[in-house]
Amino acid sequence: MKFSREFLAVSLLVIAAAFLVWMVKRGVAFAATHEEASSETQADEKRNESSGTAILVEAAAVQRGDLIQRVSAQGRVHGYQQLDLKNEVGGRLLKLHVHDGQVVKQGDLIAEIDDREYALALSEASAAMLAAKAEYLTYDPNSGPPEQSERPLSDQLAELERKREQGELSQEAYRQQKFMLELEDLKTGSRREDVIAARTLKQAKTAEQRAQLNLEKCRIIAPFDGTVFNVEVTEGQFLGAQTVLVKLVNLNDLAIKAKILESEVGAVEPGRSVEINFAALPELGAVAGKVDAVSPYVNVEDKTVDAVIRFTNPGGVVKPGMFADVIIDSRVYKDRLMVPKTAILPRDNRLVVFKINEQSRAQWIYVKTGVDNDSVVEITEGELEEGDMVLTNNHFTMGHDTLVKVDQ
């Protein structure tokens, strides 16, 4: 059975018209359903509002205090006190009292050098000292030659003093002439033998003190509390002076040398508080520290300034060489009224916050802001006081005087 072309064309037109009518009816039904749903939603909201159903929100108190701006930097840990401990006198290492990893206190004995030779040197110096004392004590100053000067030194000095007071001698001329008179008296007067005897005694005393000091240097002690590393000598070894015995590091008081951007270092100064975090020790949390020093120079290569940050090693878990992130207090603005930054919303080209009143309703308050940091912002104008509660979440589309409930 064959159909004509006209019949087929008419059939297609009828089918298309029927499909179009079905689509129009479906769209009208969907629009009606959507409008009904919207009306029901609006009605529910009005019913909730009229029945006193509160919207769950988050809130925070308005605070007054110091607003602190901070800068971030990075650096590595190093020992604030660390040195290569050396012997100051040569000799055979008699006893080594420490080993790698040993914790010592200031004053603990680290090593001993054979001191017999130095003890003998002290005995000789002490004997020479006794001889010089005996010579000095038996010397009779009255047995010296008579005064060589025609006038006593005291008279000549008195005359110089008179001339200086009367302006006949300048201060410089007075000092020079006085020195020459005293020098001549030492050369030719009765005090010459006194000076010689005293000088001999002084030299003997100095030699004895030096010998005593060398003997004491045979005992090497810890100059500060720390941990011993890199023991490089053994007992019985002959050591020349200035040989490195061990490395001593204070692992309790550590430091971080952090690099601060040149543009941010202006307000960073010694004494500022620091929050320190270690990537290798996430379970440790933040550690408190203080800025100890700020370099007066800018590193030309990377445009940074070095800052030394000191902190106490919590539990001894932080190791020199570890990487650290630091947050440093920089500018401090005293006595500012502050709210969380999440409390601020833009409305009609102005800034607002929602303050909760005594009836638990959120009131729309216009404000002006000042300085801020990562978490809070200063309020310079607005009907807010310290202790007021302001919304910080679930308030972006909220209207004025909405009933709210703070999520605890």
For 208-239, the pLDDT digits (tens) are 889 999 999 999 999 999 999 999 899 999 99
Encoded amino acid at 303, one letter: K
> Does some domain include residue 93?
yes
Q: Are residues 258 and 293 in the same domain?
A: yes
CB of 331 closer than 8 Å to CB of 271: no
Distance CA 321, CA 11 (A): 86
Cβ contact 398:354 at 8 Å:
yes
| φ and ψ at residue 311, rounded to 5 degrees | -155, 160
Indicate whether 214 and 261 sit together in one domain. no
Residue 102 CB-density burial (10 A; 0-12 exposed, 13-18 middle, 19+ buried): middle
Q: Identity (one letter) of the amino acid at 208?
A: E
Longest CA span, the chain = 168
Q: What is the CATH number of the domain that holds 104?
A: 2.40.50.100
Q: How many domains, the chain?
A: 5
Instruction: Give the span between the Cα atoms of 279 and 260, in whole angstroms.
Output: 19
Residues 125 and 213 in one domain: yes
Which residue in this structure is represented by tokens 């006193």? 52
Task: Please give the pLDDT value at position 245.
Answer: 96
Q: Which pLDDT does position 379 carry in this prediction?
A: 96
Crossing angle of helices 171-188 and 192-216, in 10° steps, is: 90
First-to-last C-alpha distance (Å) of the chain: 81
Sheet with 238-239: list strands edge to edge: 219-221, 109-113, 91-96, 238-239
Residues 96 and 230 in one domain: yes
| pLDDT (0 to 100) of residue 151 | 73
Cα separation values, 356 from 60, 104, 209, 314, 373, Å: 10, 60, 81, 43, 24
Rounded to an integer, the average pLDDT of 370-398 is 93
**Counting every residue, how long is the chain?**
408
Q: Which two tokens stand for residue 384?
A: 């807010």
Does residue 394 lie within any of the structural domains?
A: yes
Mean pLDDT of 301-318: 94
**AA letter at 96:** L
Cβ-Cβ contacts under 8 Å for 58 (sequence gap 6 or more): 391, 392, 393, 394, 406, 407
Same domain, yes or no, for 370 and 401? yes
* Domain co-membership, 200 together with 234: no
CATH of the domain at 340: 2.40.420.20
Whether residue 235 sits in one domain with residue 323: no
Match 């930097």 to its residue by tokens. 73
* 123 domain residue, yes or no: yes
Chain-centroid distance, C-alpha 196: 57
Tell me the mean pLDDT in the region 259-275. 93
Question: Taking the alpha carbons of 357, 362, 368, 371 in that order, is the dihedral positive or negative?
Answer: positive
261 vs 70: CA distance, rounded Å: 12
For residue 251, give every residue at least 6 positions away whose Cβ sits within 8 Å of its Cβ, in sequence order, or none.
Answer: 79, 226, 227, 313, 316, 319, 320
Structural tokens at position 83: 């040195």
> Angle formed by the axes of helices 192-216 and 116-138, to 10°?
160
Do the domain assignments include residue 47? no
In the chain, how many H helices and how many E strands? 5, 21
Domain boundary among 300, 317, 334: 334
Q: Is residue 49 part of a domain?
A: no
> Which of 320, 258, 315 is closest to 287 using CA atoms?
315
Cβ atoms of residues 406 and 394 within 8 Å: no
What does the pLDDT read at residue 22? 59
Domain co-membership, 244 together with 98:
yes
Q: Give the residue numbers spanning the domain of 255.
A: 70-80+250-334
Structure tokens, 370: 């000042």
Q: What is the pLDDT of residue 382?
A: 92
Average pLDDT of the chain, as a whole number = 84
Portion of the chain with pLDDT greater than 70, in percent: 79
Residue 44 lies in a domain: no
* Boundary (domain end) residue, out of 293, 312, 334: 334
pLDDT on residue 175: 78
Q: Are residues 169 and 196 in the same domain?
A: yes
Q: Which is more confidently placed, 131 or 119?
A: 119
345 located within any domain: yes
What is the CB-side half-sphere exposure of residue 123 using CA atoms within 13 A?
6
The answer to whether residue 123 scores a pLDDT higher than 50 is: yes
Q: What pLDDT was estimated at residue 310?
A: 96
What pLDDT is stored for residue 37 in this prediction?
37
Residue appearing with tokens 């379970």: 283
96 and 180 share one domain: no
Burial class (CB within 10 angstroms; exposed 0-12, middle 13-18, buried 19+) of 368: exposed
**Is 318 part of any domain?**
yes
Whether residues 328 and 339 share a domain: the answer is no
Give the gyration radius of the chain's Cα atoms: 45
Out of 111-115, 155-159, 389-393, pick the least confident.
Answer: 155-159
C-alpha–C-alpha distance, residues 34 and 249, integer Å: 75
The domain boundary, picked from 305, 334, 363, lies at 334
Give the Å distances, CA to CA, from 228 to 31, 113, 175: 83, 19, 57
One domain, residues 75 and 198: no
pLDDT (average), residues 292-314 = 94
**Is the distance from CB of 257 to CB of 276 less than 8 angstroms?**
no
